[in-house]
Amino acid sequence: MAQNRATGTGNTSAGTAERENIFLFVPNLIGYSRIVLALASLYYMPLHPRTCSLLYSVSCLLDALDGFAARAYEQSTRFGAVLDMVTDRCTTACLLVFLASAFPRWSIVFQGLISLDLASHYMHMYATLTMGGSGQSHKKVDESRSWILKQYYSNNKVLFTFCALNELFFIALYLLSFSSPILSPSLLQPAPSTLQPGSPAAPKPSMLFTSPWSAGAMEMARANKMDSTVPWILAAVSFPVMAGKQFINLVQLVKASKWLAEGDLEQRRKLGLPRPLPVKKAL
């Protein structure tokens, strides 16, 4: 009977049991839509800041909806949890890559943020699966192991606030890369230089497109004239939370490393390592 339930090929007292398709669970379908929206935002990212920001923001907001759907439909799965985390890490990394190219002097900072984000979450999930068991969620953190991570993962409102404002800060920087001549000097009128004709430091939109009246050229022209007050406000408001999120990532990386090291020590103890050195007999 148990085997029939697992395969979904036998008859039970309640009728024929159907095999569930994990990939078509509601929260996972929402996860796929997040990927589509994120890819669309990357397509528009170089020249359509408003369109990109809208698509990227909707993709991030759906992150909360898939968790709600998983609880509402009782469809929480390990595949869904990994899909959610991988989507988060990849979308944030892609945005930071763009910011590294938009602000080359700060590229090492954005590269460091990408590395910290990927490393901390990978180490945390691997430590959870290895030390906590394959059935334990990475969001279930023992308070004795880390009070900060316990508060971060146990309260959905706290988790959503940190993740949302973290992304908001980077979106604000993205908008400022199009609108603020303070951060993007190329938006200023180029001073006379010795550059040869045909290779200006800041080419006009008409030089980037076949038609200067194309949608991309007009969008760039509007973006360059956009009032930068709103992105500056968004960046200022979200910066403290973004900095806190990076600190949490650092704590997560350190705690996961120590947890794995504890497991290694325990494993070596069970194996009797290090073995005592043989005593040399005196001649």
Q: What are the residue boundaries of the structural domains of the chain, listed by start?
A: 2-183+216-262
User: What is residue 168's predicted lDDT score, i.e. its pLDDT?
Assistant: 97
Q: Is 66 a catalytic residue?
A: no
- Cα distances (Å, whole numbers) of residue 262 to 107, 147, 269: 35, 18, 11
Mapping DSSP to helix (H, G, I), strand (E, B) and coil, where does residue 16 land? Answer: strand
Report the greatest alpha carbon distance in the chain: 95
CA quadruple 268, 140, 77, 68: dihedral, nearest 10: -170
Q: Considering only CA atoms, which of 150, 152, 160, 167 is closest in space to residue 113?
A: 167
User: What is residue 165's predicted lDDT score, i.e. its pLDDT?
Assistant: 96
Do the beta carbons of residue 260 and residue 123 sit within 8 Å? yes
Catalytic entry in 63, 66, 84, 88: 88
Q: What is the DSSP letter of 194?
A: S
Could you tell me which CATH number the domain at 2-183+216-262 has? 1.20.120
Do the beta carbons of residue 93 and residue 117 sit within 8 Å? yes
User: What is residue 177's predicted lDDT score, i.e. its pLDDT?
Assistant: 86
Residue bearing tokens 């200006």: 200
Task: Output the CA torsion sign for 201, 202, 205, 208.
Answer: positive
Mapping DSSP to helix (H, G, I), strand (E, B) and coil, where does residue 24 land? Answer: helix
∠ CA 118-123-129, nearest 5°, is 130
∠ CA 185-234-52, nearest 5°, is 70
Do the beta carbons of residue 132 and residue 146 sit within 8 Å? no
Measured distance CA(279)–CA(263) in Å, rounded: 30
User: What is residue 52's predicted lDDT score, i.e. its pLDDT?
Assistant: 92
Per-residue pLDDT tens listing for the chain (283 residues): 444 444 444 454 444 457 899 999 999 999 999 999 999 999 989 878 889 999 999 999 999 899 899 999 999 998 998 999 999 999 999 999 999 998 999 999 999 999 999 999 999 999 988 887 656 677 778 888 889 999 999 888 999 999 999 999 999 999 988 877 677 666 554 444 444 554 445 555 444 444 555 555 555 655 556 567 889 999 999 999 999 999 999 999 999 999 999 999 999 999 999 888 887 766 6
183 φ, ψ (degrees, to nearest 5): -90, -30
Burial grade of 84 (CB within 10 A; 0-12, 13-18, 19 or more) = buried
Measured distance CA(70)–CA(67) in Å, rounded: 5
